[in-house]
Every structure is written in structure tokens, then in C-alpha cells.
Structure 1
Amino acid sequence: MKRRKDKNERILLKTLQFLNKRFAYWIIFIIIGLVLFASMYNNVKPIVLDVTKFEPAKETIRSPFTIEDVHATERARQEAANQVQAKYVLKPEIGQNRIDLINSIYDSAIELQDELTELSIRAEAENSEDELAVDNPTLKEKVNWLKEKLTKSVVNDLSNNTLEALVNNSKPDLVTARDAAVTAINNVMSHEISSSEVENARKKVEEELRFVSIPETLKNATIELARYAIVQNYFYDPEATEELRKQAEENVDPVYILQGQIIVEEGQLVNQKIWDQLELIGLVNTEFPYMPFIGLFIFVFALIGIIYSYYNGNRKNESVNKELLIFSVILLVSIVIMKGISAVPIQQYDISYVFPAALCAMLLKILLNERLGIIGTIILAAASAIIFNGQSSGSFHLTIAIYILFSGLAGIAFLSNQNQRSKIFQAGLFVSAINIFVVIALLFIPNTKFSMTQYVIYASMGLFSGIGSAVLTIGFLPFLEAGFSILSTMKLIELSNPNHPLLKKILTEAPGTYHHSVMVANLADSACEAIGANGLLARVACYYHDIGKTRRPNFFIENQMNAGNPHDHLPPETSRDIIIAHAHDGAEILRKNHMPKEIVDVALQHHGTSLLKFFYHKAKENGKEVSEEEFRYPGPKPQTKETAIISIADSVEAAVRSMKNPDKEKIEELVKNIIKDKLNDDQFSESDLTLKELKIIEQTICETLHGIFHNRIEYPEMKKKGD
């Protein structure tokens, strides 16, 4: 019952710890989002001006951004469409139809003449009185016969005199009149004749026929027929006209109110056109401007999404909350500095270039990693485009965003292979050089006309930004490392310096242990790198992991130098206590010297709860009743992969050192057995090492040892001269 209660309490405790971690994880994201939103709130909040329509403006107003003036664009397009002349089209088929009609009328008259002539000839041949009566038809009858050959509409449109002239004239005259009429009609109808030009066209055709050599009555009839034939052949084309108007509208470029353009000058009357432009930009809106804040919320959400996408893939990492907290502190401090600079009321120069743009990038690179440095730089550059928009006439200050991006990436690039603290200031100088080039480029590209003094001032800002970034980085590092107990790469490199007092202590008081530690460091470093663990941490921790042996150096075999083994004269229990004590003593020494917790933990955990087999068996051989627990290290077991690898490397190096004539097969068998024994002894259960990683560690350690204990080439002895 008690065991069950204890188990439930452990489950409850783990659940509370998990919830606490999850709660802290999301709280940090919320804080980042709130600070980002608050820092950019005033920069996106629309400014509502005190402007009254039809009254003089109290100040000069410029457009804060570029926007299309839809009203002006519509007016310009309407004017272009109105200027398009109506499109007319000539229809030549109408002229041909009218010519065919006149031809048909004349042909009908000529045909009637032929019929009358034929009847007359037949009547004379047959001497028939009846036929003679037909041969002399009256004028009215002739006209009626002609009307039968013509359509009713034509008959109604022509006068009776014209019809009489057509039936009273000879065929040759009719042919002459027809040809003259067709020619005149064709000449006139081949030209464009609009509705207003019909009468003028008819007069032209009439003038052409005035001098035709035909009888007068037929000439008048021909003129009437020609005038009758002339009609409109040039018509308005609505489809073509509409197409031209559309093309004219499309050819009109949109009218824009440009960023920085003066909309109204101080003292100028705010007319309807100016008022419309102010309304369009939103400078006189009375409604709550919710859209900019929605846009800002989405913008901040996207920035948070970049951070979340990185940390969501590393949730299994136990230190994710600590890393996220460090990242957020550095980022938000940079945002606060940025906001403070943006609030400085200097109008003559754009002082945003003074901002220490590489500070965030270099701190993140040094304290965390390169990827977070790049992410921080991108977020900072994006936020700066809005925070510093007061230094530009638009909603976004894109040039400062480019400047910060280049500056931050330059700092990261320089420190990628430079991890010493002394290189930070050099990185600042490098960033300053990049800043100056970028600033000058950003001033030259838009063809801005500045004086030499202004160029020098802006270049000085870039120089100050780079050096300021380095100085602030050096200043912030100790506080961040101390406040978050960070063991940075630079700190590790400093601790690996052989001139460090503790390393000198080991070297002078326990030289064998020092050599042993260096060998273990080589093995552990390569193994950690092979599985993606922190090789530098493992190397540096190895240098200090046996510092506890400096209290009794002669009791450890590597320091005895053939002076005899004092354990031969001690009971196994005393020897056990001395050997086991070195782990606790080492941790105590390291703590007194304010060494990082990670290195203290390695000193305390690198033996885990392993068994001192030699002294355990020695005690049993002496006939004493002892248990394994009495001869085990107190632990704890290795808690990290680096510590577990160090424990393997420590055991392997000591074992290989004691081997006589080690070769490849012996070394591989030894390494495999040591890892197998530790695995069976449950020494890796708390370190998250996998079986696959253990196999890689085994192979890597073997390869490193082969490089150390490789077979030397035996050279033949040189014979003496004369032998």
C-alpha cells in the first residue's frame, strides 16, 4: 500500500513538473508576442489629423505611403474615353446595290423597248390588224407595262415623268443614259457619305450628269434616278467605338499618391480633391482604424511562428525552456534598445543606423547557436522596418531592415570559426566595415543627393553600430552567463587553456592524471562529435574530471611512477574510501573555484554507481562478508550523453594503458567488453543514450585508439661503414 502511494506521488510530481514546463513554454511565447506588438503599436496606429474641409490646412501634410488615387484615375480614364471620336465604317456593298438597282431599272426599260420592237416587226410581217393595234400602244400603257417589271417600292419612289421618259426614248439613248448614271453613281458612292452628306452627294451626281448628250427628258429622268440611287454608306459603329474607348481607358496609367508627396501645404485651402485624397489615405477617418492592428497582429504571429517552428522541433531537449528564455531576453532587450533609439527626436538625420544591429546576433551565436542567431536577426530586421518607420515617409523602413540583416549576418559569419572572447571586438570591427558599405550602398542606390558631411555622418553611424555591438556583447556576456548559468563555447575554450590554475594544479601535483585526462578528452571528444553531442564540453570536462585525485595523487596508479603501490599495505575498505572519495573531492574543488555546473556534474557522475571490482574481490578473498553495494560509487549515474561517454572513455583509457602490446583486435575486444559491462550494470539508464549511439561510440573510440597505438614500421638497422 505504501509503495503504491509513493508511486502515485511520483507520478503526480512528474505531471506537475511537465505542466509547469508547458505553462512556462507558452508564457514565454506570449510575452515575446506582447512586447513585439506593444513596441510596434504606435508605429502602425493611423494618425488622424485636425483638418477641416474648405478651410486652410494648419500644417503641411505628406502621404505616409504610396497608394493609388482611384478617383483621379477614374477621372483620367473618363477624360481619355470622352476624347475618343466616334468610329464610322464605310459599307461599299450599299453603293454596289444601288448601282445594281439603277441598272435593273434601265434594263427593264430597254427590255420593254425590245419587246415593243419585236411586236411591231411581227405585226408588219403578218399584216394583222389586231397586231397593228398592239403595235401602237398608248404612253399610259407603256408606262403600265414598265411598272409591271419594276417593284412597287421603286414605282412609288419614281415620278411619272421619269417613267414616261424611260419608255419614250430609244434603246441607244437608254443605254447611254444608263452608262452615264452608273458611272456617276459609282464615282460618288465610292466616297464616304454620312447622313448629313447625302444631299451634297446627290448634287455632285447631278452635276456630273448635266452634260450628258441625251434627250432632255431622258436627262432629267436619269438625274432623278441617280439622285434616287445616292444614299448613306458611312455608318456609326458602336462596337468599334466602344473598343477604342476601352483601349483609351486601358492606356491611362493609374494615378498614384506617392510616398512623401505633399498632399496639402500649410495655409492651402482643403478643397474637395484634397479632402478625397486625405480620406483615401485614412488621415481624416472618423471610424476606428482596425485594419492596421489586425495586420500587426498577423505580422507578430508570423514572427512568433518562426521561433515556434524551431523550438517545436527540439521539444525533447530538456533545456528547451532555458534556451527559449535566453533567446527571448536577448531579443527583447534588442527590441527595447531599438524602440529607445526610435524615440529620439532628431529629424535632420536618420539615426536608426546607430542601432547596434549585430548585438542580438552575436550574443545568440555565442550563448546558444548559429541558427538561433540567424532567426533572431531576421525577426529583429522585420520588426525594425516598422519600429523605425518614423524615420521614413512610409509604413515600412525597408532600408534599415536590410541594414540590420546584413549587420547581424556579418557578426554571425565572423564568429562562426572564432569563438574566443578576444575575437568579439574584431568581429565588431568587421561588422562596422560591412555596415559602412551597406549604408553607403543604400544611400547611393536611390540616387539620393547628400553632401559629403552627411555621407560621413551616416558612415560614422555604421562604424559606431558595429563597435557598439561588440562592446555591448562583451558587457552583456558575463551577466547572461552568470544569470542563466550558461556554459558557452567561449567559456569552454577559456577553461581549456593550460594556464588555468586548476589545470596547472593537476599538471604539477598529479602529472599522470593530467596525461590520463588529456587522453580521455581525445576519446570523448571524437565519440561525442560522432553522435552529435557536445564534443567541446566533453573535452573540457575531461580535463577536470579527476581533479579530486590531487588530494591523494600517489594512491592512483598513473601517478605512482614505479614508487610502489600504497594500496598493497592498506585494507580494501580504506582503499575503497580513498578511490571513491576522488569523485566527491573533485566536485568540491570545482565548486569552490566556481566552475560551471556541467563540469562539476561530470566530476561527480563519471563513475556512476559502478563497482570497484578489484577491492571488492580483494575483500572477499580476505574472507570478509561484503556486498557489492559497499564497494560501489555513490553516484549519481551519468545524467547526460557527454558524461556517459566520458565514463566509457575513462575506463577504456585506463584499461588500454595497462595492456601489454595492444593491437587492433585486443583494443576492439576491450572496448566492446567495457561498454557491455556498463550497459549490463545499468550505468546508462539515465543518460538517454541509445543502442545505436553506443555502437557508434564503440567504433569511434576504437578508431581513435588505433590512431594512437598504431603499429610502427620497423626499419632495418644501418650497417656501419666497413662492416
Structure 2
Amino acid sequence: MEKLQRQLAKIRNLLDVTFFKVLLFVSIGIILFAVMYSNVKPEKLNLTLFSVAEQTIRSPITLEDRANTERKRTEASEQVQDVYTMKKEYTENRVDLISSIFDSVSEVEEEIKMEQDQLQKQAQTNADGTGTAPATAPTVADKLPMLKDKLTENVTKDIPDPVFNSLLQTGKDELSIAKDLTVTAINHVMNERIPADQVENAKKRLEEELKYTSLSANMKDAAIALGRYAVVQNEFYDPVATEELREQAKEDIEPVKILQGQILVEEGQLISREIFRQLELAGVLDSDNSIKPFAGLVLFISILLLALYYYFNEKTPEDKKQTNLLLFSLIFVLSIIIMKLISLLQMYEYADIGYVFPAAMGAMLIKILIDERLAIFMTIAMAVCGSILFNEGITGTIHMTIGIYILCSGLAGILFLSKQNQRSKILQAGLLVSAVNLVVIVSLLFLQNGQYSGLEYSFYLIAALVSGIASAVLTIGLLPFFEAGFGILSTMKLIELSNPNHPLLRKILTEAPGTYHHSVMVANLAESACEAVGANGLLARVGCYYHDIGKTKRPQFFIENQLNIENPHDRLPPQTSKNIIIAHATDGAEALRKHRLPREIVDIAEQHHGTTLLKYFYHKAKQNGLEAKVEDYRYPGPKAKTKESAIIGIADSVEAAVRSMSHPTNEQIEEIVRNIISDRLQDGQLNECDITLKELEIVAHTLCETLKGIFHSRIEYPEMMKQKVNQA
């Protein structure tokens, strides 16, 4: 394991160089391309017209069959009947024309009557001997020119003179009746559609209506002649409306599509011209020369790697870039390889074998070892890769169902591990992931509205369970290797280190019980303060358990372990006492390194005192008249580098100071806490960590509240009072 750690450390160091970092991304891209190459590579098919298909061929993509679409639209357009429009204004015009003829006849009669009246007056004047003799009454022949002058040339040309003569010979009352009957008949006939080939039939209908009227024979013939003349075609072909209907019929036809996965030709079927055309349209015939699938795969991998590069370059802390990048790369490549191996089983007719893929494994590992955001990114990437790898043997297709399944499964694993990262909870998370997998599969099957047997549903149930449980088992199994190989201090590792049965903790408990109790008290204080400012509370607690492990080397020289014994420092010179006290920090770091505890725990043991001054022994040396330098009585450091180390150092001093008081009040506790923090600030002990003044105020408040809860006033019972009196 140490050899592996050294090798990984060398690789991490190489990643500091841009060339090697780019080389890693290129390597990931090559692996992805090699894994998905066969899934996008078009099949080589030997197909000719009128040959027999040796295998069932499906469409690799969804596309529109324009030829079939156009054919169906043409058929729909041809089925549209010509549109004929009835001109209603023609009826009004023809009625007005016939009415005008009758009115013109009446006007002629009126004019002749007026002339006759004038002539009559003149005749009376002649009888008196002063006027001319009266003229004779005009004949029909005389009236005819007058009537024609009132009508248009077209009318007079189309209507024979006998018709006009009959009108001019008819009395006023009969003429009025004839007019009404003729107009009514024309209205009745022309209110119906009269196409060009039905004009004669319409005229006959009008003739039938007028044949049985009470008009005289001559007038009846004239009315019929006028009616036949009035009846004309009133229904005409409308090219605009016809074209609109044809266009609408074309638009109503949905585009004919060849769907992805649709069978184009079945095994043993003759390849007709239509099938050959569809194969050519789907790009199956010339697929050997197509580079589009490979170009698409390269573009997809490039986008994925660019996003990954941006994340690690911009969103990752500088001190964790190399470790996180290498760790992510290993987990991602491992997941892709597992996915590829499972996808190879599809060649044995296991079309839905992809559902057993442990989709949540990589997401849970990344969540535990790095962070949640990167785990989500990996889940999305795995979902897209899975939709390509599990394309059911149809090259170039995308299996969206399996992509959704992998995405939901991975996100479920991240969700269930959000606040519970203990190893015992990983298996529970795996079971919950299995439940989510099952719900997702069932929902997708229902959405497809397919018919499935009980055996098929049983397979999906087993696949969902296997995927979730395998994710948990693989996570539990791989986690120790990644933690050990990369020296990662995960939450689960911290929980393991907090176990009281750990050899070092048992050593403290048995050899320095006072120090153990002190460490537990400091742990309570430091954990609450760290959580209040957003630092790692669990790391602070575990670090407190081990921070004074160096005191086990000489436990009796530390006051918390001096129960009913004389303080040995009373007999030692200040210089010697100083050396013993200061040594516990370096001794502790050395012991922790020897037992291979994580670097973060070693740093806490080494940094919790920083370079603070041992004031008691410094002043004791001064009082004894010894030459003492301040630098000689300071801890060697280093100063606190992290918030956790700084807060633990403050909590350590605060707990010791408050414990030394018999009955500390709330005011005394607050004064001690703020004085210790102020001393640390003025002494420059917090200059090398990123803790702010605002956070220090929060730390002070949290420490005060916790200490008040620990050292609260207790009621003194009568028995206790008596004991105190007796002791006095």
C-alpha cells in the first residue's frame, strides 16, 4: 500500500505540470472513444436491390420519409372535389331585368295614353273650329319601336318580337299579374344551384311552373319566353377556394417518419425498390463511408472533457486539484469499464441487461471522497455514456430510457448519502436506491404502454435490486483502497478513528485518564464552535481526541493526570519543565505518524499550541533570576493553518482555564474566553489561517454557551452541605 501511495503521489506531482494534466484528459478521451467506438460504428451491410436480407435491419435514426410524405399529400390533394360557388347576385340581376321589361311596357302604355289625351283635347278644339282633327290610335307595330328604345340591344336581340307584341297587346291588370308570376318563378328556380349542364332543366322547371297559370295563351307564352331567357347558370367553378382546400388537405397529412429502431427489412425478406429506397434514406447502404457518427462522438467527448477541465481548473481548491482530478479519473474510468463489460452481454440477446449496472456506485464514491457537485456531474456524464453504450445493438442510436434510469439511480445515491456517510448507512442507501430503481423502471415501462409478461416484470425487479445493492457493495469495497491510496480523510474514516477501542485512544484512557477526559471536553467545545462557523466539526472532534497523545509519554508531568500525587515540576528547574511540556506536541505528532493516522489529525496535534508562550515557566525562570528568552519558552509550532486547528487551540486553552476555577460564573467564563481569543490574536497565532474576526466572535459566543451548559450551577443538597462543614 505504501508503494501504491508513493506512485500515486508521483502522479499527483506530475499533474502540477500543464502538459501532464492535458495528457490525462486526452487519455480519458481516448478511453471513452475506444469504449463507445463499436456502439457508434455503422454496420457493414451487403445489400442489393431484389436480394434477400440476411438479417433484420432497423433504422439507426429518426428521419422524415419525404417521398412518402409528398405522395400521401398529393393523394389527399387529388381527393379534394372542385369547389363551385353559387352567384346569388345573378338571381337578383335576372329578376331585375325581367321586371324592367315589364316596367318598360307599362311606360310605353303610359306615354301612348298621354299622347292620346293630348290628341283628344286637340280633337275637342277642332270641334269648336279652332283645332286640328284627332289622330288614330297607335298600333302594336307603332308601340314596338318605342319599347325597344327603352331596352338594351342585347335584350331586344335575344327576345323575339312576338314576345314584345304579346306584352304590348296585354291589358294593364293581366300584365301586372304576368309580371308577378314570372318574377316569382324565376326567383324559385334560380334560388337553387344551376350548373352549366343543368340550365336547360332549370328552364323546363320554370316552364312547368308558368304552364298552369291563369294567363291568356299569348301572355303565357310570352311569360315563359321571358322566364327561359332569365334563367341562366348561377354555379361556377372557384379555383381559389379549390386550391385552398387542396393546400389544407396537404397540411393535414402528418410527415411520414422512419422511427429510430423501426424495422426496415426483416430477415429473409426480399428487398424491394421501396425497401431499398428506405434503407438508402436511413443511411444504411453507404454507412461504411460515413464519418458523422465518429465526429459526433468526438464532439461529445470534447464537451465532457472541457466541462471537466473547467471544473477542476476554476471550481476546485488549489491544494486539492491534483488529488481530486486523479481520484475522479480513476472512478470514472472504472465505472465506464464496468458499464462496457455489462453492455457486451447484449450480444447474447440480453437487451435490457443495462438495468443491472451499478449506476449509483461512482456517484456515491465521488460524494464521499470529494464532494456532491462533482458527483452530480459524474452522474450526468454516466447517464449520457450509458445511453450510447446500451443502445440495444442498434449502432448510432441513443437509449434514452437507460440514460434516465442511470441518472435517477445516481442522483438517488447522492441524495441518500447527503448527511449519512457512515459505512453502515451505505448499504441502507443501496436498498433505497434499489427502490428508486424499481419505481423508475416501472414508470418508464408504463410510459411506453407496452405489454409485458410476469417473467419480464420479475427480471426488471431483480435488475433494480441488483443495481442498488451492487452499488452499495462496490462502494464499501472500493472505499478503503481509495482512502488509503490517496490518504483521504473521509467522514467514515473519521468515525472509525473516533471509536474508543482504537489503540491510541485506549492508550490515552489507560495511561493518562485525566488527559482523556480533558480531550473529550475540548472535543465537545471545538465541534460545536467549528460547526457554528461552517468548519468540519467531526474533524475537530476526532482531532481533539488525539491532540494530546504526546502526554502519554510522561503523563504525570501534566496537571490533569496529577491525582493525589505531588507536582514533579515543583522539583524541576523551569527550563526542564518547559522542555517536557513543549515536547508533548512534537511527541504526539511523531506517535500519530508512526501509527499512520491521517495528515489532518497529525497537523492538529502539531499546531494546536502554535508558537504560544509558556508564561508560567517563563515567569518562574525570571523569578529565579535565570536568564530566559521569550523565544526559548515558546512552542515550536507551526501556527494553526486551518480553522479547525485554530479553534481547537482556543478550546484547549479555554477548557483548561475554566476547569481550574472552582465555581465559574457566566461573567467569568465570558471574560476568560474573550481574553484567550484576544491573546491569540495579539500574539499573531491566527495569522496563518483563514478565520475571520466575525467567525471568532461566533466561536466566542458558542464556546461561552457550551461552557455555561457544562459548568452550570448545581443545587447543594443538605448531605453535601454537612460534608462541607465536617471537612472544614
TM-score of the aligned structures, taking structure 2 as reference length: 0.87
8 Å Cα contact 2:60/2:395 also seen in 1:
yes
* Gap change, CA 1:80 and 1:513, over 3 Å in 2: same
What does 1:296-335 correspond to in 2, within 5 Å?
Answer: 296=297, 299-300=300-301, 314-316=315-317, 318-335=319-336
Would the aligned equivalents of 1:391 and 1:397 in 2 still touch at CA under 8 Å? no
Change in Cα spacing, 1:140 to 1:85, as seen in structure 2 (3 Å) is same
Give the letter for the 2:493 counterpart. K
Query: How many angstroms does 1:72 deviate by?
Result: 2.4
> Which residue in the other structure is 2:71 paired with?
75
1:666 corresponds to which residue?
668
Residues 62, 575 of structure 1: CA spacing in aligned structure 2 closer, same or farther, 3 A cutoff? Answer: same
1:13 equivalent in structure 2: none
Partners of 2:434 and 2:173 lie apart in 1 by 108
In the alignment, residue 187 of structure 1 is paired with which amino acid?
H
Residues 480-524 of structure 1: CA deviation (Å, up to 9, x unaligned): 011111011111111100011110101111111111111111111
Write the distance in 2 (CA, Å) between the matches of 1:694 and 1:667: 16
Deviation of 1:273 after TM superposition, in Å, equals: 3.3
| Residues 106 and 448 of structure 1, relative CA distance in 2, 3 Å threshold | closer
- Asked if residue 233 in structure 1 is aligned to residue 234 in structure 2, the reply is yes
Q: 1:552 to 1:354 in 2, by over 3 A?
A: same
Q: Which residue of 2 is the match for residue 8 of structure 1? A: none
Match of 1:59 among 55, 62, 69: 55
Post-superposition offset of 1:318:
3.0
Pair 1:297–1:532, CA change in 2 (3 A): farther
Name the SS of the counterpart of 2:365 in structure 1: helix
The 5 A counterparts of 1:586-601 are 586-601=588-603
3-state SS of the aligned residue for 1:319?
helix
Report what 2:636 is aligned to: 634
Q: Give the partner amino acid of 1:421.
A: R
User: Do 2:664 and 2:711's aligned partners in 1 also have CA atoms closer than 8 Å?
Assistant: yes
1:105-164 C-alpha deviation (Å, 9 max, x unpaired): 122123212332443344345327898775344554322111111123322332333334
Does the aligned pair in 2 maintain the 1:65–1:393 contact within 8 Å?
A: no
The 1:291–1:695 alpha-carbon spacing in structure 2 relative to 1, beyond 3 Å, is farther
Q: Give the aligned CA root-mean-square deviation in angstroms.
A: 3.3
Q: What residue number does 1:421 align with? A: 423
Aligned match of 1:407: 409
* Equivalent position of 2:8 in the other structure: none
Compute the displacement of 1:30 (Å): 6.0
Question: Matches of residues 558-707 of structure 1 in structure 2 within 5 Å?
Answer: 558-707=560-709
Using the alignment, how far apart are the partners of 1:700 and 1:23 within structure 2?
48
Cα distance, 1:711 vs. partner? 1.7
Question: 2:390 aligned with 1:388, yes or no?
Answer: yes
Is contact 1:306–1:375 with CA below 8 Å preserved after alignment?
no
Cα contact 1:105–1:150 (8 A) shared by 2:
yes
Partner of 1:100: 96
Number of the residue aligned with 1:6: none
Please say if residues 420 and 494 of structure 1, whose CA atoms lie closer than 8 Å, have aligned partners that are also in contact: no
Q: 1:331 offset after TM fit, Å?
A: 2.3
Deviates more, 1:530-539 or 1:369-378: 369-378
- Indicate whether 1:518 and 2:520 are aligned: yes
For the residues of structure 2 that align with 1:701 and 1:155, how far apart are their CA atoms?
Answer: 122
Residues 427 and 691 of structure 1, relative CA distance in 2, 3 Å threshold:
same
Instruction: Find the aligned partners of 2:476 and 2:14 in 1 and give their Cα distance.
Output: 35
Q: Which amino acid aligns with 1:461?
A: A
Equivalent residue for 2:245? Answer: 244
Query: What is the deviation of 1:371?
Result: 4.3
**Deviations for 1:439-484, whole angstroms, at most 9, x for unmatched residues?**
4554455344444444333333333323322332222112101111
Gaps of 5+ in 1: 1-16
Shift of 1:65: 4.5
- Which residue in the other structure is 1:466 paired with? 468
Partner of residue 11, structure 1? none
Letter of the 1:162 partner, please give it. Answer: V
CA, structure 1 residues 444+137, in 2 after alignment: closer, same or farther (shift >3 Å)?
A: closer
**Does the CA-based 8 Å contact 1:54-1:269 persist in structure 2?**
yes
Write the distance in 2 (CA, Å) between the matches of 1:620 and 1:42. 82
Q: Deviations over 1:413-457 (max 9, x none)?
A: 444454332443444344344444544554455344444444333
- Counterpart for residue 14 of structure 1: none
1:151 equivalent in structure 2: 152
Q: 1:182 to 1:425 in 2, by over 3 A?
A: closer
1:357 pairs with 350, 356, 359, which one? 359
Relative to 1, partners in 2 of residues 1:465 and 1:411: Cα closer, same or farther, differing over 3 Å? same
CA separation in 2, counterparts of 1:374 and 1:316? 18
C-alpha separation in 2, matches of 1:287 and 1:234: 62
Distance 1:28 1:711 in 2: 62
Paired position in structure 1 for 2:368: 366
2:185 paired with 1:184: yes
- Relative to structure 1, the CA distance from residue 35 to residue 348 in structure 2 (aligned partners, 3 Å threshold; closer, same or farther) is closer
Q: 2:538 maps to which residue?
A: 536
Amino acid at match of 1:273: E
CA, structure 1 residues 255+161, in 2 after alignment: closer, same or farther (shift >3 Å)?
A: same
Q: 2:558: which partner in 1?
A: 556
Instruction: Measure how far apart 1:535 and its partner are.
Output: 0.9
Q: Does 1:110 align with 2:106?
A: yes
Deviations 1:309-368 (A, max 9, x none): 866774446324423432332223212211221123221442112211221122123323
Counterpart residue identity of residue 362, structure 2: C
Amino acid aligned to 2:122 = E
Kindly indicate whether the alpha-carbon contact (under 8 Å) linking 1:90 and 1:235 is maintained by their aligned counterparts in 2: yes
Number of aligned residue pairs: give it. 704
Structure 2: segments with no counterpart, 5+ residues: 1-12, 723-728
Task: Tell me the CA shift for residue 551 of structure 1.
Answer: 1.0
In structure 2, C-alpha distance between the alignment counterparts of 1:295 and 1:135, rounded to whole Å: 109
Amino acid at match of 1:201: A
What amino acid is the match of 1:71? Answer: A
Q: Secondary structure at the match of 2:348?
A: coil
Given residue 650 of structure 1, which amino acid in structure 2 is its aligned partner? D
Give 2:5's aligned residue: none
Look up the match of 1:90: 86
Closer, same or farther: CA 24–595 of 1 in aligned 2, 3 Å = same
Aligned-partner Cα distance in 1 for 2:451–2:211: 79
Residue 264 (structure 1) aligns with: 265
The offset of 1:540, in angstroms, is: 0.6
Change (3 A) 1:213 1:559: closer
Deviations 1:617-663 (A, max 9, x none): 22233333332222222222222111111111112122222223211
Q: 1:573 to 1:293 in 2, by over 3 A?
A: same
Structure 2 counterpart of 1:241, one-letter code: T
Amino acid at match of 1:595: L
Q: Which moved more, 1:649-658 or 1:240-249?
A: 240-249
1:340 and 1:452 mapped to 2: Cα distance?
Answer: 28
TM-score, normalised via structure 1 length = 0.88
Distance in 1, matches of 2:218 and 2:594, equals 142
Q: Which residue of 2 aligns with 1:278?
A: 279
C-alpha change, 1:19 and 1:312, in structure 2 (3 Å) is closer
Does the CA-based 8 Å contact 1:637-1:686 persist in structure 2?
A: yes
C-alpha spacing 1:156/1:287, structure 2 compared with 1 (3 Å): farther
* 1:708 equivalent in structure 2: 710
Q: CA separation of 1:62/1:485 partners in 2, compared to 1, >3 Å: closer, same or farther?
A: same
How far residue 80 of structure 1 moved from its aligned partner, in angstroms, is 2.0
